[in-house]
Structure 1
Amino acid sequence: MKDNVCRIIKINKEALFEFIYENFINQEEELLDLDTKLGISNHFDINWETGEFIFLAHSSEDAEENIIPFPKDIDIKKVMNRLPETTDSVLNSTKKFKELTFDELRSLSNG
């Protein structure tokens, strides 16, 4: 790059959301201690007012290869509002995630 020159990227909220989500997808093995060779489904949301982001991953198939859908009665926004932060940084080396069952998520969602 030449001296006294800046390369700039400016994006809107939608592009920022996409960037955050795609980075979580690219790093989900490390962040969530997963083997993504197995079927994994992802779900996510962001609260622009509070600056919070939630990313969930679960097995997409059971042992008999039946699809495991994410339950429609679980509201991810409500879970995000009621779940405490699971880590202060995704860059630290400690465990970053909390493991909850669909029933536990449903309880948080229905609060």
Structure 2
Amino acid sequence: MKKNTVRVIKIGKEALYEFLYENMISEEESLLQVPATEVMNSFAMDWERGEFIFMAHQAEDADGELIPLPKEIQPETLLKALPETAESLLKRGKVYRDYSFEELKRLCGENEDNDGNIHRCKNPSGF
């Protein structure tokens, strides 16, 4: 670069979301300790709260049939209900937490009222 020059990148929400998601995909194996080719991903972003959730689950069963994320498990609901799993993704150590489909279904059901409003879980680790 030339002396006294500042090189700038400025992006909007969509590009930021895309960048974050693509980086999570590219780091998936090291962050989640799973082979990227063997999982399916779900994700959501809450711009107002500045939170992002990225989830992976086994893509296929023993017969090679796809395993979809159950419709009762909504990333947007979990984003608001679950606690953070790590203060930083750059530190060493485990940055994820495992939940069963049943735990997440129950948590999603407990955190939506009849009007579809989402409430933060009071005791998310009490499974």
Question: What is the TM-score when the length of structure 1 is the normalising length?
Answer: 0.95
Percent identical among aligned pairs is 46
Partner in structure 1 of residue 81 of structure 2: 82
Structure 1: 5+ residue stretches without partners: none
Counterpart residue identity of residue 19, structure 2: F
The 2-side partners of 1:85 and 1:36 are apart by 22
Identify the residue that residue 18 of structure 2 maps to in structure 1: 18
- CA deviations 1:8-44 (Å, max 9, x no partner) are 111110110000000000000000011224x211110
**Residue type matched to 1:62 in 2?**
D
* Correspondence list, 1:1-111, <5 A: 1-37=1-37, 39-111=38-110
User: d(CA) in 2 for partners of 1:73 and 1:36?
Assistant: 24
Structure 2 distance, partners of 1:35, 1:75, is: 23
CA distance in 2, matches of 1:75, 1:40: 17
* Count of equivalent residues: 110
Q: Distance in 2 between matches of 1:63 and 1:33?
A: 20
Output the amino acid matched with 2:39.
Answer: I
**Gaps in structure 2 of 5+ consecutive residues:** 111-127
Q: In structure 2, the residue corresponding to 1:62 is in which secondary structure?
A: coil
SS at match of 1:43: strand
Q: TM-score, normalised by structure 2?
A: 0.83
